[in-house]
Structure 1
Amino acid sequence: AAMRALGVTLIEHGADFQEAREFAIQLAAERGAHMVPSFHPDLLRGVSTYWWEFLRAVPQMDVAYVPIGQGSGACSAIAAKLALGHGVRVVGVVSSHATTYADSLAAGRVVEAPVTTHLADGMACRVADAEALSIIAPHIDHIVQVSDAEVAAAMRAIFTDTHNVAEGAGAAALAAALQERGRLKGQIVGLALTGGNVDAPMFSGVLAG
C-alpha cells in the first residue's frame, strides 16, 4: 500500500525472491527499463555508510551479526570494517530455510538451495551472488542459520522491548545472537535491524505466537 501510494506500479510474481528477480530482469529487457539490482558496487557504497557510522560509534564492538539476502549488507559491513581497520568479527545470518550462502561458502562455489521460509522473505534467496560471495568468503567469521520460529521470537522481542516493528530478515540478527548467546558473555554485540517490511496480517500472527 505504501509503495502504491507513491505511484509505483507493483507487480507481484513468483513464489520466492529468486523467481521475482528473474522475472524483473526479463521484464526490464522487454520494456527497456532500468533494473535496480539487489547487489551492486554502487549499492554497497550507500549501505556501507551506516556500518561506517555504527563501527565508528562503537569502536570496542566485538562482533556484529548481519543478515544475508543477496549479500549487500554483509559486504558493506566487511567494507566498513576493513576501511576503518576495526577488529569486529562479522557474522553472517541466513535462514535455515534458504541456505544458498551457507552452502556456497562451505563448498567454495555458488550452490543453489531451495527456499521454504515463509517469514524471512528478505533472506529468501535461492542462488547466491558470485561477486558477493567472493567478498564475503575471506572475511566472514562464520554463518548462523536461524529458523522461522527463531525469527518470529526475535520479532516479538524487538516489538515488546523496543516498540520497533521488524520484518523477518530485520529480526534475523537478533535471532542469531540469541541462538549464540552462550558464547557472547562479556562481549559487545552489534545488531542491525535492517527493515520493517512486514504486512499487518503476518505481523499480527507473529505477535499472537
Structure 2
Amino acid sequence: MFDLPALEAAAALVHRAFPPTPQYAWPLLAARTGAEVWVKHENHTPTGAFKLRGGLVYMDRLKRERPQVRGVVSATRGNHGQSLAYAGARHGVPVTIVVPQGNSTEKNAAMQAQGARLLEHGADFDAARAYAAALAEAEGLEFAPSFAPDLVLGVATYALEFFRGAPALDALYVPIGLGSGICGCILARDLLGLRTEIIGVQSTEAPAYALSFAAGRVVTVESAQTRADGMAVRIPDPAALAIIRRGAARVVTVTDAEVAAAIRAYWQDTHNLAEGAGAAPLAALLQERGRMAGRRVGLVLCGGNIDLALFRDWVLGREAGEGGGRAG
C-alpha cells in the first residue's frame, strides 16, 4: 500500500499539525498484567484519538489533487468525523458528517465545534455510512470512507513512532473498528522488518472481523450493540480483512464488562481516561495475561473520547465491582 519513505513523509505532514504522541512503560500496568506494558497514547492528539492522522493525510491529498472540491461527506461514530472536520478546517474544505441516531452527544458536539455539518440517520454506523454515500451523489460531495489507503497511511504514522520510540515489542494489541489502525500497524511493522506479534481486539457484541478472520472470508453480523462504539461495526472491509488475515496473529474478543474494567484500570494505573475502543487492548491483555507473562507488550490507547454520562453508567455504575481488581 505504501513504502517507508512515503510513511516517513506522512509522519512529517502529521507532525506539522501536532508532535508525536508519547509512549510510556507503566509500572502499575506491569504489576496488573505480569508483562512489561508500553502504552501508545493516541488519546493525546488534538482530537483525542488516532484517526486525526488519517484525516490530515487524506485531506492534504484531496486538496492538492482536487482544489475545487465542493466538500466532503462521511459517516462515523465520532473519531473519524472529528479527524475530517479538523483537517477540513485546516484546508478550507466543508465537511458533512452523518452519525447514527443516539450517537455520542459529546463526540457530536466536538465535530460541530470543528465546523462540521452534522446529520443523524439510521440505527447504526453501517446505516449511516450508506446514507452518507447517497448524500455524496445527491449533493456532489466527495465521499470519504472510513477505510482507504490515505487513512491507513496516516494512522500508520503512530505505529512508526511507537516501533521506533519503544524497545522491541514482543506483541502489540490493537482494537479493530473498520480496520485502519491495525492495518497501519501491520504495514509499518513489516516495512521496519520487525517480528512483533500483532493481535486484533474486537467486542463480543460486534465480532465481524473475528468471525471473518476465522472463516477466511467476509462475515457480517446482524447487530453491533457494544458500548465501545469505536468497535461497533457489522460489515468488514474486504481490503482491511486481507491485510489483517495476512499480518495479524489472532483476533481476541472482549466483553463490555471487560472493557469497563480496563477503563478503570487505565485510570487507576495511569490517570488516563480511555474510551471503550481505547481500553479494549488492555482488556485483551488482561484476558491473556498468563500467555503474555514476562513479555514486552504494546497497547494502543487509541482514544479518550467517552461521554460523561456513558462513563458514569457503564464504567462507574453497576459493573464497577466486576473484574476490576488488580492482578499481581
* Same fold at TM > 0.5: yes
Q: Does structure 2 conserve the Cα–Cα contact (< 8 Å) formed by 1:99 and 1:114?
A: no
Higher alpha-carbon deviation: 29-38 or 46-55: 29-38
* Equivalent residues of 2:208, 2:220 under 8 A apart: yes
SS in 1 for 2:298: strand
* 1:72 match: 180
- Aligned pairs for 1:133-152 within 5 A: 133-152=241-260
Query: Deviations 1:174-194 (Å, cap 9, x if unpaired)?
Result: 110111011111100000011
Deviation at 1:167, TM superposition (A): 1.1
| Pairing 1:93–2:205 present | no
Larger radius of gyration: 2
Q: Which residue identity lines up with residue 196 of structure 1 in the other structure? A: G
Instruction: Name which of structure 1's ranges 2-11 and 165-174 shifts more when overlaid on structure 2.
Output: 2-11
- Alignment-derived partner of residue 111 in structure 1: 219
Task: Write out aligned runs for 1:56-205 (5 A).
Answer: 56-205=164-313
1:42 is the counterpart of 2:42 = no
Structure-1 residue corresponding to 2:68: none
Secondary structure of the equivalent of 1:192? strand
**Is the contact between residue 95 and residue 117 of structure 1 (CA under 8 Å) also seen in structure 2?**
no
RMSD: 1.3
Instruction: Give me the whole-angstrom Cα distance separating, in 2, the residues matched to 1:81 and 1:179.
Output: 24
**Aligned with 1:11: secondary structure?**
strand
Q: Cα distance 1:41–1:116, how it changes in 2: closer, same or farther (>3 A)?
A: closer
TM-score by length of 2: 0.62
Q: Structure 1: give runs of 5+ residues left out of the alignment.
A: none
Query: Which residue identity lines up with residue 152 of structure 1 in the other structure?
Result: A
Match of 1:157, SS state, is helix
**What's 2:316 paired with?**
207
In the alignment, the residues of structure 2 paired with residue 141 and residue 166 of structure 1 have an alpha-carbon distance, to the nearest angstrom, of: 25
Instruction: Please identify which structure carries the higher strand content.
Output: 2
Given residue 47 of structure 1, which amino acid in structure 2 is its aligned partner? V
Is the Cα contact below 8 Å between 1:117 and 1:148 reproduced in 2?
no
Greater shift in the superposed pair: 179-188 or 28-37: 28-37
| Kept in 1: contact 2:125–2:232 (CA 8 A) | yes
If the length of structure 1 is used for normalisation, what is the TM-score? 0.95
Q: 2:224·2:234 contact (CA, 8 Å) conserved in 1?
A: no
Which 10-residue stretch deviates more, 32-41 or 115-124?
Answer: 115-124
Comparing 157-166 with 188-197, greater Cα deviation is found at: 157-166
Aligned to 1:8: 116
Q: Aligned AA for 2:177? A: G
Bigger Cα displacement from structure 2, 9-18 vs 123-132 = 9-18
CA distance, structure 1, for counterparts of residue 274 and residue 143 of structure 2: 27
Q: Counterpart of 1:156 in 2: which secondary structure?
A: helix
Tell me how far 1:78 sits from its aligned partner: 0.3
Residue of structure 2 in register with 1:21 after alignment = 129
